[in-house]
């Protein structure tokens, strides 16, 4: 299975997020096919397929990411089902594509969306509004873990919504539209580092590790380096 990594050089760790994410991919994804990086591509990268692509929406991060995934969907050389991986996501033990399950993290119908980051809240409100209007399930499918997307279904889902005009997250419209069964994320699926000071012990027994910029503390950087010390084939 091919892997698509949308990428923009706005790293806070000298591109080590992408470096170690690719190391985890090579080490642990047993169904690994070709790797495509869409957007920017660091100079130290090799043996990947690079598709240059601009960020055309300066005030809409979600639209920039969606547009890169749609670009992947248009490429006939990318496998029909591909793994969408972000540079802040890491595979923690060997797995096949069948082991990567799509989980939701909340039911938007019963979730308060008037607190938190205003940009993110507006994204989720727009998903909830669209899904209720269409009579579809209304879950938050932004798990910050690798997920498998189908090119035809993702593209056709997104062109039916005004993603270039409204604020939408990357995945929730798609998975609420195409999935027949909706499963909540179990506690042992991911280790989430979204703020400083989180104990590294939460990594034990998890399938994936995810962090944002706030959570990428020096101790976590050192732990990621310890987990994935060996250079991958994608590094010069």
pLDDT digits (tens, 9 = 90+) for 86-96: 999 999 999 99
Has residue 235 been placed in a domain? no
User: pLDDT, tens digit, for every residue of 217-231?
Assistant: 999 999 999 999 999
pLDDT, averaged per 10 consecutive residues of the chain (236 residues), comes to: 96 96 98 98 98 94 96 98 98 98 95 88 96 97 97 96 94 98 97 95 98 96 98 98
By CB atoms closer than 10 A (0-12, 13-18, 19+), residue 167 is buried
Q: What is the pLDDT of residue 21?
A: 98
Q: How many domains, in total, are found in the chain? A: 1
Q: What is the pLDDT of residue 221?
A: 98
Has residue 27 been placed in a domain? yes
Has residue 236 been placed in a domain? no
Has residue 72 been placed in a domain? yes
DSSP E strand stretches across the chain:
3-7, 35-39, 49-51, 81-84, 89-91, 106-107, 139-140, 147-150, 190-193, 208-211
Has residue 7 been placed in a domain? yes
Has residue 8 been placed in a domain? yes
Q: What is the pLDDT of residue 115?
A: 83
Q: What is the pLDDT of residue 2?
A: 98
Q: What is the pLDDT of residue 10?
A: 85
User: CA–CA separation, 161 vs 94, rounded Å?
Assistant: 36
Give the angle 32-20-225 at the CA atoms, nearest 5°: 135
Q: Which residues of 38-47 are buried (b: 16+ CB within 10 A; e: fewer)?
A: bbbbbeebee
Q: Which helix (H) or strand (E) holds 178?
A: helix 172-178
Q: What are the CA-CA distances from residue 11 to residues 7, 82, 165, 170 (Å)?
A: 10, 24, 27, 20
Q: What is the pLDDT of residue 59?
A: 86
Has residue 232 been placed in a domain? no
Has residue 89 been placed in a domain? yes
Q: What is the pLDDT of residue 131?
A: 97
- Domain CATH code at residue 20: 3.90.550
Residue numbers of the domain that contains 197? 3-227
């Amino acid at each position: 299975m091919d892997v698509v990594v949308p990428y923009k050089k706005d790293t806070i760790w000298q591109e080590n997020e992408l470096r170690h994410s690719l190391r985890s991919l090579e080490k642990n994804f047993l169904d690994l096919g070709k790797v495509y990086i869409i957007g920017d591509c660091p100079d130290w990268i090799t043996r990947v397929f690079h598709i240059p692509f601009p960020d055309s929406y300066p005030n809409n991060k979600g639209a920039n990411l969606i547009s890169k995934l749609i670009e992947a969907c248009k490429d006939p050389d990318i496998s029909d089902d591909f793994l969408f991986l972000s540079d802040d996501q890491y595979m923690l033990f060997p797995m096949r594509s069948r082991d990567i399950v799509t989980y939701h993290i909340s039911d938007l119908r019963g979730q308060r969306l008037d607190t938190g980051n205003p940009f993110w809240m507006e994204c989720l409100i727009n998903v909830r509004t669209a899904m209720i209007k269409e009579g579809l399930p209304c879950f938050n499918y932004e798990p910050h873990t690798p997920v498998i997307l189908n090119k035809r279904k993702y593209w056709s889902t997104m062109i039916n919504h005004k993603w270039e005009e409204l604020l939408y997250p990357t995945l929730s419209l798609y998975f609420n539209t195409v999935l027949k069964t909706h499963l909540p994320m179990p506690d042992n699926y991911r280790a989430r580092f979204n703020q400083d000071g989180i104990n590294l012990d939460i990594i034990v027994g998890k399938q994936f590790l995810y962090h944002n910029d706030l959570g990428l503390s020096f101790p976590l950087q050192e732990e990621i380096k310890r987990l994935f010390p060996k250079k991958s084939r994608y590094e010069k």
